[in-house]
Amino acid sequence: VISSSACANIALVKYWGKREPSLNLPETGSLSLTLDALRTTTELELIDGPADEMLLDGVRQTGRALERVSSFLEVARAECTDPALRRARARVVSNNSFPSAAGLASSASGFAALAVAANAAYRLGRDRTALSALARRGSGSAARSIFGGYVRMNSGAQPDGSDAAAHPIEGIKLELSAAIVVGKAEEKAVSSTDGMEHTRKTSPFHEAWVRQVERDLVAAEEALASSAIMRLSEIVEANCLAMHADAMAARPGVIYFSPLTLWAIERVRELRSVGTPVMFTVDAGPHVVAFAPPAEIGWIGAALAAHPGVDRIILSHAGGPATIEEF
Ligand code: PMV
């Protein structure tokens, strides 16, 4: 049995658009922070059976969820050189340390953990960069979860996607932790895959978004390198709102914000207007994620809990890279 674990990540500069959907090739780069509190632990066992099996948080997966895992495992098997191993199917047992239904980037930690496990099980011998490109086949954001801390994803230029991989950004002194605002009313949002493809095809703002991301990446890396947290906050928030503006401009528009999202965004901006080093971002769902220095995140999280629609606040420090154990 192979046991692996990976943490989810939240993007400071977002990925929103694929240049090649079949290989999950992103149109642009992106930049994220890996988060310790959002972790998937996976056990993978090779079996003799006719098909892959998957249990997520104790629930047997079927239909589209299982197909997604199985076609990911097919990618690994296709490059496995041992004929006996290649025939073996996998029994995958995954557990999330956080509610998977809440749409909290569980595909990032899930496919990163599965990529390192499949790499070991099928003896692929991929290095970390190649593992990141493999995880990308499961979900674009999973490519970043192979690494810990601040991570930069490259869009790459190769048609086969071998250079569409992430790498850790070294030497950053600015430490950030996160407070994630989870609401009580969890409606099923449009998936990121569907939302970004619909946006790319129909939003009149999409070309402008793609150009802006490249500028935001440069500016965000500069702000991180110089620990300029207030400057970083402006870039991170503007980038998030531009992504959502792009999605809202799709036809029909995709709206991920809930009333609670807008309330929490306002709260973060109020706090910053009186000098608090805090910034918000929002992924393809209603949850606001506030980033602030570790010493400040506790009271900021408490301030963001002061709304009757809040179910819970998840606090997280930065997380490490995906890991593996064989026994
Ligand atoms: O790779 P996916 O399907 O999890 O898409 C990620 C999309 C966003 O979370 C909205 C942005 C990002 O870069 O993580």
Model confidence over 217-226: pLDDT tens digits?
A: 999 999 999 9
What confidence tens digit (pLDDT) does each residue in 8-31 have?
A: 999 999 999 999 999 999 999 999
CB of 282 closer than 6 A to ligand 1? no
**Do residues 261 and 286 lie in contact, with contact meaning Cβ atoms separated by under 8 Å?**
yes
What confidence tens digit (pLDDT) does each residue in 214-248 have?
A: 999 999 999 999 999 999 999 999 999 999 999 99
Arithmetic mean of pLDDT, 72-99 = 96
**pLDDT at position 189, please?**
85
- The alpha carbon of 284 and the centre of ligand 1 are apart by a number of angstroms equal to 7
Query: pLDDT tier at 188 (50, 70, 90 boundaries)?
Result: confident
What confidence tens digit (pLDDT) does each residue in 35-75 have?
A: 999 999 999 999 999 999 999 999 999 999 999 999 999 99
CB of 96 closer than 6 A to ligand 1? no
- The alpha carbon of 174 and the centre of ligand 1 are apart by a number of angstroms equal to 23
Least confident of 12-16, 97-101, 278-282, 292-296: 97-101
- The alpha carbon of 107 and the centre of ligand 1 are apart by a number of angstroms equal to 9
Nearest to 104 by CA among 35, 162, 53: 35
Percent of the chain with pLDDT over 70: 98
Q: Name the average pLDDT for the chain.
A: 96
CB of 303 closer than 6 A to ligand 1? no
CB of 72 closer than 6 A to ligand 1? no
Arithmetic mean of pLDDT, 139-155 = 98
CB of 109 closer than 6 A to ligand 1? no
Q: What kind and span of H or E run contains 316?
A: strand 310-316
Tell me, rounded to whole angstroms, the distance of Cα 179 from its chain centroid: 16
Nearest to 4 by CA among 110, 130, 148: 110
- Is residue 102's pLDDT more than 70? no
**pLDDT at position 288, please?**
97
- The alpha carbon of 94 and the centre of ligand 1 are apart by a number of angstroms equal to 20
- The alpha carbon of 14 and the centre of ligand 1 are apart by a number of angstroms equal to 7
**pLDDT at position 100, please?**
64
Q: List b or e across 115-151, with b for residues whose CB sees 16 or more CB atoms inside 10 angstroms.
A: bbbbbbbbebebeebbbbbbbbbbbbbbbbbbbbbbb
**pLDDT at position 186, please?**
73
